[in-house]
Structure 1
Amino acid sequence: MRLEAACDRARALGIGVAISSPCFEIWLLWHYEDWARWSDARSLLDRLKSRHGFTGKNLPRSFPYADYQHAVRRAERCGPAEPVHAPPNPHSTICVLASGLVRDLDRGRDQGLDRGRGPGRDPGPG
């Protein structure tokens, strides 16, 4: 299915879509540095390998997961786009997804829920 058709179908079903251009690796790179110029998938992966310790598509053990806020800000600086056709390059709406997931996780903690201990789950030991 083409991107435009997939976005239309998702929108009709009330499903949000997270798209990165040129590829998901732009979201990973934004955890480390600003990147606001056109690039292709190969050059982004090469940069992640040479500067940030990636091997293939594997994240390094030192990947800065906790720095997602920096990645969100960097993604937002590239501007919002409604993914009707191919989004601008570089671009990612993964920042919206990540922010929403963290917000929901924080809300769950505020309600006394923890990972794996939601309603209907066996809390297990301690």
Structure 2
Amino acid sequence: MPSTTLRFSARAHGCVAGLLLLIPLLLGADDYLREIEEEAKRQAPSLVIDPSPPAPGTTAVGDTTTDRLAAGLDQVAFEQALRENLPGTYAFYQQLGPDQRKQVYETYRSDNRFASISEQVARLLSGKH
């Protein structure tokens, strides 16, 4: 009977060790979400509430050239612009697979706002398509 107790203890220690190895991964998920939230807060003041374009010769309130990536970039240029303009989003983008990266690029082609691109990366990273 004592050997059974020892085997159970060794197994219990193995389970505890396995759980301890998962803790950094779980904590890392919080870091990902925190970084996305911080980036969204940084971008919030520049978000355009009314997506309609301003009349020619006028400027919409809060409209800046820094809340969008340049339009019409190919995927390589898009990734470079993403890395330069949204380094936090780019770090998460790099963790996506090729098909998911293509989805982000397609999102950019239809809506080049920083917020839209960051939201798509967050959705794909969290598994919510």
Q: TM-score, normalised by structure 2?
A: 0.24
Q: State which structure, 1 or 2, has the greater radius of gyration over its C-alpha atoms.
A: 2
TM-score, normalised via structure 1 length: 0.25
